[in-house]
Structure 1
């Protein structure tokens, strides 16, 4: 499979999983499973970066301001890279805090002989939207951090999409539709 096709597929799977996880905070085990799915996709992305293809390298997330001038400020690659770095930090943060809050309970419930209604097993552990509750019914600090990373991620993703549509439309078109078909003679 060509490198850019793999990158587009990775991007699409990650986008769908992240959006589904973000909008499923009230769904207990479904939210947890989506979070674990995001973790797997992140791991796959790191493995893809190790293949050596420049399009997949992690240096794409490192902003380089060389050549940034007033006349190219909106189209310079540093803007995209700053957004990508912020997205990566929030994505890793929200995934890591989610896994830390779950402490493997969702995976353990799935591997138990009484797998049956995993959602009911996981839902009884005292969690609600974004994290564990303490004895006063308040969200834990880790749950608050998880929610902060999740909301920050959505803001940065919205900024990323807006930026691409405004200033990098050919790249946005390629990531959504693929390479344009060559005109037939």
Structure 2
């Protein structure tokens, strides 16, 4: 169980870092995004290997008889549903991010690096980019133009999915945290390595 709690904290930290670096720190965001993708891939691998406490059954909401003291709003199905929705949103965001980057960050050719340079270069960088774009658009070959339009369309769709899922992560995180803090506070303390309150005698 300790391994699961460490994994949980690492995933939460990297997701938070990815969320807060999305706008201004593009290259950092790309690297953190790969870290999130690696953790999700590890989670899937452990689930398929049926490693202890990482089994997929722990994510599937069950409407069966709950453990003693976990009825009503404290039913495990509610917590599992929130966790599953959150994991799917994180996995979808990471996957679309990796597909857009196409491994460029890993070989030093990230599209995010270009974004960072443009932010630092300000107006001059934008003018150089516009000039270079104009030169390539003056008389592009027909095949290159068609392939470019296709690529832009696919990347645009991926970008929209990436943004939509990324924006869904924050409300899901808030719902997950509020549910644990209000209805499963003991579990929240346990997951954060905070000792449980001693029982009153």
TM-score by length of 2: 0.70
**Structure with greater proportional helix content:** 2
2:130 equivalent in structure 1 = none
Structural mapping, 1:148-159, within 5 Å: 148-159=164-175
Structure 2: runs of 5 or more not aligned: 119-147, 150-154
For residues 197 and 116 of structure 2, the distance between their equivalents in structure 1, rounded to whole angstroms, comes to: 52
- Aligned equivalents of 2:79, 2:116: Cα separation in 1: 42
Separation (CA, whole Å) in 1 of partners of 2:100 and 2:18: 15
C-alpha contact (below 8 Å) 1:22/1:150 kept by paired residues: yes
Find the residue that maps to 1:140 and give its secondary structure: helix
Residue 123 of structure 1, aligned match among 108, 115, 128: 115
- Aligned equivalent of 2:35: 37
The aligned runs of 1:85-104 (5 Å cut-off) are 85-104=84-103
Alignment-derived partner of residue 168 in structure 1: 184
Q: How many residues align?
A: 162
Summarize the Cα distance change of 1:169–1:182 in structure 2 as closer, same or farther, 3 Å threshold.
closer
Structure showing greater Rg: 2
- Tell me, in whole angstroms, the C-alpha distance in 1 between the residues paired with 2:157 and 2:111: 24
